[in-house]
Each structure stands twice: as structure tokens, then as C-alpha cells.
Amino acid sequence: MKRIIATLATSTFLAGPALAEMLPLEKDILTFGFIKLTDMAPLAVAYEQGYFDDEGLFVTLEAQANWKVLLDGVIDGTLDGAHMLAGQPLAATIGYGTEAHIVTPFSMDLNGNGITVSNDVWEMMKPNVPTMDDGRPQHPISAEALAPVVDDYRAKGEAFKMGMVFPVSTHNYELRYWLAAGGLEPGYYGQDDTTGQIGADVLLSVTPPPQMPATMEAGTIHGYCVGEPWNQQAVFKGVGVPVITDFEIWKNNPEKVFGITAEFAEENPNTTLAITKALIRAAMWLDENDNANREAAVEILSRPEYVGADAEVIANSMTGTFEYEKGDTRDVPDFNVFFRHYATYPYYSDAVWYLTQMRRWGQIGEAKPDSWYDEIAQSVYKPEIYLEAARFLVEEGLADEADFPWDSDGYRAPTPSEDIIDGIAYDGRAPNAYLDSLPIGLKGDQRVVGNEVQG
């Protein structure tokens, strides 16, 4: 019915400031995949608010079992597009894992993840964590507080294990970043060893996001890095304590993207623009008027067809707060950002950061020149599509001109050292210099050979 109304409105020239102008679509019946995380919100909102309908798109949203199934669905055409880990289009394009050319015209959000440890581990960490005047832990908490705990496990002959959601996930790289910043080796990937555990002090392995709290409670892992609501779920269930958010690891770091095949974008240019327009409007709605719509978004996301967690758990982070321990709730207004700070613009520098982390930990086995990083970033991230969609929205009176970085060359200004937990600045224009500045990780011509780093 919503689609019929939108069609009638266009046919009777009612398009105006409250209604998008429909493009001549190459394909209008679409299926998009997602994982049950709060940062799939732009898809749910675009559907529920009728933004897809306004573009003449008949969309079905389908939850996927895990990130591999989701990626495979986009590649084989079962899915027309999906909420993706930012590393997935990049890894697929360079042939790490499943090979396919995936592109993104839309970055879905900033921040949104956390690192949680079990109650037992937290009790062991607490003596190493500085406190504030009121006795609460001082944040951000460095992995230096975890290092003695890892040593204790090692002394008992036990491996210290942590979960992340996928080998090329933000969560893998953020967890590794936090561990390395605290002096812990998170391990390397080798040519014939895809575990990522070569030389590791902490053994990282894959666990699907919704299963994280239960897996930790069972003792299979001692902590994890995941998106919401699965850190807050650990607090809600009393099984774990989030020790740091990714906002504290790297302020306003890029998170998920919307991924489609390059073939889909080439064959369906107007459809791709229409999708991007609808998603931009959804992101705007999520952040407008100082997050005034977040309670409504929480209600949408709590439905079983989307995230399916209790609204109370989702609201803990979606409404601008974050609960570390029971009762220790703190204001984190930018924990989830969907449109502010140009969150939806697909910056090349974001892509380059992911590629540097793949190189840092051995997923990219050999040194690459700076020009290679730029070339791959431009082949996957498509700001030109994004800005064309944004221009339509501005001309239709649905968006403000000032909300988009029209003059950007695709690179953010360098992230200053004070915005990153290890105090090391990041400049996407100089990836090799950045890698050289990191104390732990591959740099220069170093390679993983067998079970050791050489070079």
C-alpha cells in the first residue's frame, strides 16, 4: 500500500519537499541482508519510515546467520545488497577469502562497538585500573590492565581467549588495536595459517554477535569485541563487564557499510542512487534534533524481525548513554552516530585504515606502496555515487546543502593523536608511515614465514 501511494503521488506531480523524486529504476524489487546489530538501523528506518517506498523500491529485509553467509548472498545474487563489515568489500576485492568486486556508496555509521570481559576477568583486572574520586573506574581502560591477567592464565598453562565476529571485521581490528596498545600480542595471519594466532598472547576466534554473551558465560571465551546490543546484554544478564568502547579506542571511527557488487552498481545506476538516497534520509532521521527519534528507533530495532533484543538493552547505548557495570551508566552521546560528522560519506581514508590493519596483522602478506592503498580504496568506496544521491535530496528539499562534504578529495583530515588510545595519529594519505609508527605489527618488508615474523 505504501508503494502504491508513493507511485500515485509521483504520477500526480505531488513530489515536493516531503516526497522524493523517483528515478527511472532498472530494478525495483530488492532483497537486502543484515546481521542483528543496532547499526543495521538505517535499513530498518528506511523501510519503516517509507523512504524506500518514496524511491519506488519494494524492499525485503532478511536477517542472516553470520557474516560469511551474508557476503556469499550478495556475491551470488541471493541478496541485492547488505549491511556489511567495512572490511568485507575490501577483503573480497583484493582476494582475501572469497574473491569478488564489492563496492560501497554509503557508510552506515561511526562507533557502536565495545570490548567486554567476563566477571571473573574483570575482578582480576580491577586492581590494575585507576579509579576516580567516587571510586568508579577511570575510563578509558588500557589493555595494560589486562596484561597481568593474561600472564596469570599463562602461568597456569591456560590460554586466554577472546571472541570477535569475523577475520576482516572492525571488531577484530579494534580488539587487536586495544590489545597491542597495551603491549599484548594479538597474533598474526600467515600464508598457510588463517587462525590469526601466530605468536599471540591472546587467542582470538570468531563467534557470531548474538552468541557472544552465552559463549563467554559458558567459559569458551574470556571476553569479546562486538557491536551493540551484545555488550549491554552482558551487563543486563550479569555475565560480563564492558571495559572500553570503540569511541574510546578511536574517536568517531568508521563502522559498517552498505555493500553491493560492482556489477549491480554498473547495471543498476539509478537503483543504486535511489537506495543511497533512502539510506541517507534514514541516517538523517536517526540523528536529527539531537537524537530525538532514538526512542522510536529503539522500538523498531527491538522487534524480532530486526535485532530482537529487549528495548531496555538496546536503549542503553542507542539513546546516548552506555552502562559499563550495573548502575555505572555514563553519557556517551556519540556512541552511535549515523549522520553527524559526515558519518555516511564513504571516505577513502576509512578504507585505507582497514587495509593498513590487514597488512599490520599479515592478512596482506607483502608490503604495498602507498599508491596501492589509494587505488584499492577508490575501487571500493564510491563517494561520487553518494554525492550524486545527496544532490538529488538537496534539490528535492529533503536535505541541507551544508550537511555534505562536497569539496572533499575523499580523505578525512588526519586523526590527531589525542583521539586514539595509543596516542599515535592516523593519516590515510600516508599508510606506510602510519604502519611504521605502530610498535607492534608488520611494517616495511616484514613477512610472516611459518610461525615467525621475518625481516
What's the per-residue H, E or C state across the chain? CHHHHHHHHHHCCCCECCECCCCCCCCCEEEEEECCCHHHHHHHHHHHCCHHHHCCCEEEEEECCCHHHHHHHHHHCCCCEEEECCHHHHHHHHCCCCCCCEEEEEECCEECEEEEEEHHHHHHHHHHCCECCCCCECCCCCHHHCHHHHHHHHHCCCCCEEEECCCCCHHHHHHHHHHHHCCCCCCEEECCEEEEEECCCCEEEECCHHHHHHHHHCCCCCEEEEECCHHHHHHHHCCEEEEEEHHHHECCCECCEEEEEHHHHHHCHHHHHHHHHHHHHHHHHHHHHHHCCHHHHHHHHCCCCCCCCCHHHHHHHHCCEEECCCCCEEECCCCEECCHHHCCCCCHHHHHHHHHHHHHCCCCCCCCCHHHHHHHHHHHECHHHHHHHHHHHHHCCCCCHHHCCCCCCCCCCCECHHHECCCCCECCCCHHHHHHHCCCCCCCCCEEECCEEEC
Express each pLDDT in 373-394 by its tens digit: 999 999 999 999 999 999 999 9
Residue with cell 578509558: 140
**What's residue 19's pLDDT?**
61
**What's residue 20's pLDDT?**
67
Express each pLDDT in 322-381 by its tens digit: 999 999 999 999 999 999 999 999 999 999 999 999 999 999 999 999 999 999 999 999
Residues 6+ apart with CB under 8 A from 282: 41, 42, 43, 45, 46, 49, 51, 338
Are the C-beta atoms of 343 and 337 separated by less than 8 Å? yes
pTM score of the predicted model:
0.94
Please, what CATH class does the domain formed by 2-110+254-403 belong to? alpha beta
**What's residue 401's pLDDT?**
98
Which sign, positive or negative, has the C-alpha torsion 318, 324, 326, 328? negative
Q: In the chain, where does the domain assigned CATH 3.40.190.10 lie?
A: 2-110+254-403, 113-251
Greatest alpha-carbon pair distance for the chain in Å reads 75
pLDDT in tens, the chain (455 residues): 344 334 333 333 333 445 667 899 999 999 999 999 999 999 999 999 999 999 999 999 999 999 999 999 999 999 999 999 999 999 999 999 999 999 999 999 999 999 999 999 999 999 999 999 999 999 999 999 999 999 999 999 999 999 999 999 999 999 999 999 999 999 999 988 999 999 999 999 999 999 999 999 999 999 999 999 999 999 999 999 999 999 999 999 999 999 999 999 999 999 999 999 999 999 999 999 999 999 999 999 999 999 999 999 999 899 999 999 999 999 999 999 999 999 999 999 999 999 999 999 999 999 999 999 999 999 999 999 999 999 999 999 999 999 999 999 999 999 999 999 999 999 999 999 999 999 999 999 999 999 999 99
**What's residue 192's pLDDT?**
87
**What's residue 9's pLDDT?**
38
**What's residue 451's pLDDT?**
92
Superfamily (CATH) of domain 113-251: Periplasmic binding protein-like II (3.40.190.10)
